[in-house]
Amino acid sequence: MTVQAQRLQAQLAAVEEIVGPLSMIREEIAKKDLPAHSCAFLGGSITDGFANKNSDVDIYLLVDNDEEAAQGEPGTMLKDGRFWQFYFLSKSMLDDFRRKIANNTVASLVEDERVTLHRILTGVAISGEDRLITVRQELDETRLHYLLSATSFDFSGGMHNDCLGMKAADTLGYLQSVRIGYDCIADSILNLWGDTVARQKWRLRRLQRTFGDGPFLEAYLSVLCGPHDRSPDGMGRYIDYSMRLWQFMFAEAILGYLAGRDLPSTMEGARRDINDGAAALAESLASPSRHPCRHPDYRLERYGEDGFVSARAQAEKKLSPLLAAIWCAMDGRRDPEAVVEFLRRRVPKLAGSLTVETVNKAEGMLRAAGVLA
């Protein structure tokens, strides 16, 4: 197989990684007779959030029977006489709503904010049981993707501006924003299932199929194996790195595939810049000399005797990111020595803590947790 064919195969696989989880949306949305100005909670994506304790970015599907209210709204889709629209709402945004209400300054909310807040507070939520009630109605695939694209662009464009002081008005910024929106949607559906390891595997496999061996996967695993840095400076660097990574992923795997041609020379320059940035961030986050708490061994020590999973996490079958990484590496590599070699090549800083005994112990825990056949 030629290099070009291998690259196209990787790009197609990356597309499938996005389209597959998106198709779950049609299967997961419960069939309800939602009244006008109502909403359905679809799930969340990050951590410690509103409406879902495991989420910081909540995703809602708003349904509106009022044609005038939907006129001119980006990302709306007409279905069965109703207008459907996805909303991405962060915890900070909802906290801001609460503060305005508490301070009696609701008048400062713009009309869209008042309507959105009213829908969320009075809407119909989809519970864990209801998600199993699937609806088989066909949604036009093209319109659904347009809906997700337009809405996620608004969401991610705001994230660009708030977190990085950047405007996502250019073509590449638009595509990258759409990519983040797709990732949030797919991740929210996986989060509804409550299988944290499956979410980690989905993320890592997408990176593997897109990049193969390289500094991006190494940097991702380095971040994955350390606790989140919640300091403003550290979080800013993490967001900046994530933005650049998703931007490059979308341009590499989607834009290049749809265009049917090689990436322009400007993207080759971006590849080098992001390569350097990812490697520098991985070094900063994983270096035990600069950030002792970020060394992968810290996670093992912090969880105590079992070395991988806290008692609470084990009871809930929520495994540590390091254990999730080992599980991902075991996909097709049942030989413990092959797993060790696989991870050592990608995350050199784990070399000292990864042994055959480590992998064997991880395999036993994964089987006990019921996530490994």
Of 149-158, 242-251, 309-318, the range with the highest mean pLDDT is 149-158
Above pLDDT 70, what percent of the chain? 5
Count other Cβ atoms within 10 Å, centred on residue 276: 11
- pLDDT number for residue 335: 74
Say yes or no to pLDDT of 64 above 80: no
Q: What is the pLDDT of residues 196-220, one digit of tens each?
A: 454 555 555 544 443 444 444 444 4
- pLDDT number for residue 118: 47
- pLDDT number for residue 5: 59
Does an H or E element contain 341, and which? helix 336-346
Query: Which residue bears the tokens 């993707």?
Result: 145
Of 27-41, 68-82, 323-337, the range with the highest mean pLDDT is 323-337
Going by pLDDT thresholds of 50, 70 and 90, the confidence category of residue 361 is: confident
Domain residue ranges in the chain: 10-188, 195-368
Going by pLDDT thresholds of 50, 70 and 90, the confidence category of residue 340 is: confident
Q: What is the pLDDT of residues 89-117, one digit of tens each?
A: 555 555 665 666 566 555 555 545 554 55
Say yes or no to pLDDT of 70 above 70: no
Count other Cβ atoms within 10 Å, centred on residue 368: 12
Q: Which residues of 150-167 are buried (b: 16+ CB within 10 A; e: fewer)?
A: bbbbbbbbebbeeeeeee
Above pLDDT 90, what percent of the chain? 0
Give helix 171-193 / helix 141-159 axis angle, nearest 10°: 100
Query: Which residue bears the tokens 């075991």?
Result: 330
Say yes or no to pLDDT of 253 above 80: no
- pLDDT number for residue 257: 34
Q: What is the largest CA-CA distance in the chain?
A: 66
Mean pLDDT in residue range 141-163: 46
> What's the one-letter identity of residue 40?
A
For 58, which DSSP code? Answer: E
CA distances from 2 to 7, 255, 258 (A): 9, 20, 19
Count other Cβ atoms within 10 Å, centred on residue 140: 12
- pLDDT number for residue 110: 52
Going by pLDDT thresholds of 50, 70 and 90, the confidence category of residue 41 is: low
Separation CA 159–CA 1 (nearest Å): 40
User: Which residues lie across from 57 on neighbouring strands?
Assistant: 90
Query: Which residue bears the tokens 């989905």?
Result: 202
Say yes or no to pLDDT of 65 above 50: yes
Q: Where are the alpha helices (DSSP H) in the chain?
A: 3-28, 67-70, 91-102, 111-122, 141-159, 171-193, 196-211, 215-224, 232-250, 256-259, 265-286, 296-302, 311-315, 321-329, 336-346, 356-368
Measured at the CA of 340, the angle between CA 338 and CA 346, to 5 degrees, comes to 105
For 294, which DSSP code? Answer: G
